[in-house]
A and B are shown apart, each in its own frame.
Chain A
């Protein structure tokens, strides 16, 4: 007897599949193919060029500089957003008056576009009229206004990445909090009976059991920091002190109009994102059963 196929599940997921095929897979396939072609509208014709785009892009001094900057963005951003995410999640785990309001407020920076955040933080970091300089000077911490962006590479990247951390930490918090709330209270009660204090409970119960949440938070932080664009563009312009890989892809593609190299760089970024995500998932993610 022929088994009746239930089409409803396929029907329900079809919008998502169509969405992914049209907006993710098709451009990805196109980019992958085009990365092996010389595509320069100012210098036609378009032709197959093998690995030439990849070779040229890796020999490009600006790209190499932006690669180093991007690694710094990743290290600072992933570390800070994950640590802060765990901290806020633990604070928000316990129920207290105003908790819901606090969560809503915490999410606000995540909802703001990066450009808006960049503009907001310009008012803080600005070396001529910024709030931070004004506060530090009125507290007599500094005797004259300081330049936070554009002179020292590490300070520039740190200042820019703080803005992104402000944006992505809420998502890390929510992801970790969701896992945290699934941990049964019985485990903590049993540990307390066995003589465990708060510190030991955190290290030996909370941390191992929130690993799935941390893994997802780390992956989303890596994707965000690897693709950082709005914040350095608004706060530091196209300067090499804060230039990111995503900004360089934009410059190569839309300023230099060298789309072949732009595709190649995009493909490399995608492959790196995939690789690191898989590695993170393998080493941090752990299926938890209570």
Chain B
């Protein structure tokens, strides 16, 4: 009965709407469709838009228009969480960061990609795809294979009389002190100590350089012992700001800000944990840099020699409330195509190069780039790629965001001098212990 009433009301409403439309002269109502409705999808990423020419090609081939929105990484994660918890539409395709895979997989906030793309066929050509899977579902497709690297301004190092670049962290620290002592630059090292995600990432990379991991397989902290790599890394970072290697003002400098205002302006000689691709996309770009062709990648200095570079891949997925998941999937297929990725990385000229893009996540894309010889610092990066490792070998835990928040707020406080390194590590360890025990 209730259903009948609803239908009756609906029919009446439709009839009224039709009458009103007719009265207003809306002649198209009821007419047969002449062409397929054009589809526009919203893509939101923490990256600038793709080259307009390439997006136009995609639209021409598929009839799908892409509305691209760029947000900063931290804000984007919040918007994804807010929209998902409110059960509302946010975007048709958006960021799936490696660090969020555990959480997103558990919460089912993203549609399983294997439903739309043949991910099994993709796996062989995309080594990092496995780290974007949770509970048997692929949460997102990695679109680049970036990792953390050390960058050095070789001109500033040379001015200090350093001709052989460091291979160990002790030598690296000694060289930075030499640069400071010779007053080549006042603050030779850039560490972004603002209480934001970039600080956590920096600590992970430094911990790797000191030869350790952050968490064990069960999520328990591995950094609370003063002899542990994580503890030493935190102490090294905080000591760098206390001894004047890092500008005191960096306690409120975020990662990209430090790269743009310090490294790219020649005010710092090195960033220990930089983003792969920054040499080509930032430091060698005259419009944004005063150190063009001065900065190079350096194999991460470790305790006894070269250390691993931590993987920092970016992925893209389809939120559960996407309005056009099929169209979004078509875009993701095109976006992660090996040839297109090679174009993004500069294989076919500047008009097809995506600003800030680093390295294809598909081996076929890398093969095209290698053939063309068009990777800036390619020989060094290729070696680093083979030496890259995951931050959490067992996969990022579902509670990663809360843990990371504890990491960056406490490390920031230690750098600002409002708490000791010991207290900061203790607080970070307590959070990891509590979260991993499910409390």
Give the B-binding residues of A (Cβ under 8 A). Answer: 41-43, 126-130, 145, 147, 149-151, 153, 235-241, 250-251, 254-257, 259
Contact among A150, A240, A259 for B85, CB-based, below 8 A: A259
- The answer to whether B402 and A255 have CB atoms under 8 Å apart is yes
Chain B 398-439 per-residue mask, 1 if CB under 8 angstroms from chain A, else 0 = 110110010011001100111000000000000000000010
- The answer to whether A250 and B78 have CB atoms under 8 Å apart is yes
Q: Given A150-B412, A238-B195: A255 and B405 within 8 A (CB)?
A: yes
- The answer to whether B261 and A42 have CB atoms under 8 Å apart is no
Q: Which of B26-34, B243-251, B287-295, B334-342 contacts A (4 or more CB under 8 A)?
A: B243-251
- The answer to whether B247 and A42 have CB atoms under 8 Å apart is no
Give the A-binding residues of B (Cβ under 8 A). Answer: 78, 81-82, 85, 103, 106-107, 194-196, 247-254, 261-262, 267, 398-399, 401-402, 405, 408-409, 412-413, 416-418, 438
- The answer to whether B85 and A151 have CB atoms under 8 Å apart is no
Name 19 interchain pairs, CB-CB below 8 A, sorted by A: A41-B107, A127-B247, A128-B261, A149-B252, A150-B416, A151-B418, A237-B196, A237-B254, A238-B196, A238-B408, A238-B409, A239-B409, A239-B413, A240-B413, A241-B416, A250-B78, A254-B81, A254-B82, A255-B402
- The answer to whether A239 and B412 have CB atoms under 8 Å apart is yes
State the CA gap A130–B402 with chains docked (Å). 32
State the CA gap A263–B252 with chains docked (Å). 30
Q: From residue A43, how far is it (CB to closest CB) to chain B in Å? A: 7
- The answer to whether B418 and A128 have CB atoms under 8 Å apart is no
Q: Which residues of B contact A127 (CB under 8 A)?
A: 247-252
Q: Which residues of B contact A240 (CB under 8 A)?
A: 409, 413, 418
- The answer to whether A41 and B252 have CB atoms under 8 Å apart is no
Q: Which residues of B contact A236 (CB under 8 A)?
A: 195, 252
Q: Which residues of B contact A256 (CB under 8 A)?
A: 401-402, 405
Give me 5 other A-B pairs in contact (C-beta within 8 A), A43-B438, A241-B413 excluded: A127-B250, A128-B247, A151-B418, A236-B252, A237-B194
- The answer to whether A129 and B261 have CB atoms under 8 Å apart is yes
State the CA gap A21–B434 with chains docked (Å). 41
Q: Which 10 A-B pairs have the closest CB atoms?
A: A127-B249, A237-B195, A128-B249, A239-B195, A238-B195, A150-B251, A237-B194, A256-B402, A254-B81, A150-B416
State the CA gap A237–B418 with chains docked (Å). 15
- The answer to whether B416 and A128 have CB atoms under 8 Å apart is no
Q: From residue B199, how far is it (CB to closest CB) to chain A in Å? A: 9
Q: Which residues of A contact B250 (CB under 8 A)?
A: 127-128
State the CA gap A153–B418 with chains docked (Å). 9
State the CA gap A71–B398 with chains docked (Å). 34
Q: From residue B125, how far is it (CB to closest CB) to chain A in Å? A: 33
Q: Which residues of B contact A254 (CB under 8 A)?
A: 78, 81-82, 85
Choose among B196, B248, B267, B405 the residue with the greatest number of A CB atoms under 10 Å from its CB.
B248
Q: From residue A49, how far is it (CB to closest CB) to chain B in Å? A: 15
State the CA gap A3–B82 with chains docked (Å). 51
Q: Which residues of A contact B106 (CB under 8 A)?
A: 42
State the CA gap A240–B106 with chains docked (Å). 30
Q: Which residue of B lies closest to A250 (CB)?
A: B78
Q: Which residues of B contact A250 (CB under 8 A)?
A: 78
State the CA gap A241–B418 with chains docked (Å). 9
Q: Which residues of A contact B413 (CB under 8 A)?
A: 239-241
State the CA gap A259–B401 with chains docked (Å). 15
Q: From residue A55, how far is it (CB to closest CB) to chain B in Å? A: 15
Q: Which residues of A contact B401 (CB under 8 A)?
A: 255-257
Q: Which residues of A contact B196 (CB under 8 A)?
A: 237-238
Q: Which residues of A contact B248 (CB under 8 A)?
A: 127, 145, 147
Q: Given A150-B416, A250-B78: A126 and B249 within 8 A (CB)?
A: yes
State the CA gap A259–B86 with chains docked (Å). 11
Q: From residue B75, how far is it (CB to closest CB) to chain A in Å? A: 9
Q: Which residues of A contact B402 (CB under 8 A)?
A: 255-257
Q: Which residues of A contact B78 (CB under 8 A)?
A: 250, 254
Q: Given A240-B409, A240-B413, A240-B418: A147 and B249 within 8 A (CB)?
A: yes
Q: Which residue of B lies closest to A115 (CB)?
A: B75
- The answer to whether B405 and A257 have CB atoms under 8 Å apart is no
Q: From residue B354, how far is it (CB to closest CB) to chain A in Å? A: 25
- The answer to whether A237 and B252 have CB atoms under 8 Å apart is yes
- The answer to whether A257 and B81 have CB atoms under 8 Å apart is yes
State the CA gap A153–B253 with chains docked (Å). 17
State the CA gap A127–B81 with chains docked (Å). 33
State the CA gap A237–B85 with chains docked (Å). 23
Q: Which residue of B lies closest to A133 (CB)?
A: B249
State the CA gap A239–B195 with chains docked (Å). 5
Q: From residue A37, how far is it (CB to closest CB) to chain B in Å? A: 14
Q: Which residues of A contact B253 (CB under 8 A)?
A: 128
Contact among B252, B399, B405, B416 for A42, CB-based, below 8 A: B399
State the CA gap A259–B262 with chains docked (Å). 39
Q: Which residue of B lies closest to A43 (CB)?
A: B438
Q: Which residues of A contact B417 (CB under 8 A)?
A: 151
Q: Which residue of A lies closest to B415 (CB)?
A: A150
State the CA gap A126–B254 with chains docked (Å). 12
- The answer to whether B398 and A251 have CB atoms under 8 Å apart is no
State the CA gap A177–B291 with chains docked (Å). 54
Q: Which residues of A contact B416 (CB under 8 A)?
A: 150-151, 239, 241
Choose among B82, B254, B267, B418 the residue with the greatest number of A CB atoms under 10 Å from its CB.
B418
